[in-house]
Amino acid sequence: MPKISDEKRESRRRQILEAAWICFQDRGLHETTMDDIIRTSGLSAGAVYSYFSSKDDLILSAVTTSLAGLGEVVIPMLKADPALPPEMLAQGITTAIDEFTTRAGYDLKRIALMGWSEAQHNERLKSAMQVFYRAVRDAVAESAKSWKASGVIAGDAEASSVAKAFVSLVLGYVVQSSLLGDVAPKDMATGLKHLMA
């Protein structure tokens, strides 16, 4: 029995994660049953369990993997040199989120929302998410320093507060988009700009 190749393993994991995303966003993290995911993935129960040790593991992986993918898109934008000005960054990040999260049949934004909720009483998930969001916020704080240096914002502004407010704007965009569905990246950009005028 030859060992399965690494690519094969990776593609199987992906296949299961994809199934999990679909089910989770359809039914919620805990209302989704392992059987839902198993059936959607097209694999057997045993197979799924050989890739993910438990449902909790699958939840953690589903949320953090989606976050990591999003990070790959967003972080470079934050590290752009020269730093993008606030309203362009707001539009850029929210647009990137929209583009990255909107998949065939599901929307990872909603998975993120579910992850925040789940993290309230799941320490492992909470830690993983905190690492991610703190990294994002730190990168925004760096941008804030550039903004101060280049005179885009006041020189006595606190980078950390600016970063917190900016991150709120983005997180709130995800909430509004998932819950009300009538917001666009443009709203964040122009709204912020006018609020800033």
Partner DNA sequence: GATGAATGAGTCTTCATTCAT
Partner DNA sequence: AATGAATGAAGACTCATTCAT
CA-based nearest residue to 40, from 58, 63, 67: 58
Mark residues 83-102: x for contact with DNA by CB under 7 A, - for none. --------------------
Is 138 a binding residue for a second copy by CB under 8 A? The answer is no
Task: Write down the residue that tokens 């898109």 correspond to.
Answer: 73
Partners of 107 in the β-ladder: 102
Estimate the share of the chain in helix, then strand, then coil, as percent rounded to the nearest 5: 75, 0, 20
Q: Where are the beta strands (DSSP E) in the chain?
A: 102-103, 106-107
Tell me the torsion sign for CA atoms 43, 45, 47, 48.
Answer: positive
Among 84, 117, 143, 150, contact with a second copy (rule: CB under 8 A): 117
Among 9, 30, 79, 124, contact with a second copy (rule: CB under 8 A): 30
Nearer to a second copy, 14 or 124 (CB): 124
Q: Which does 95 bind (CB under 5 to 8 A by kind): DNA, a second copy, none?
A: none
* Binding positions for a second copy, rule: CB under 8 A: 25-31, 86, 110, 113-114, 116-121, 126, 129-130, 133-134, 137, 153-154, 157-158, 160-173, 175-176, 178-180, 183, 186-188, 190-192, 194-197
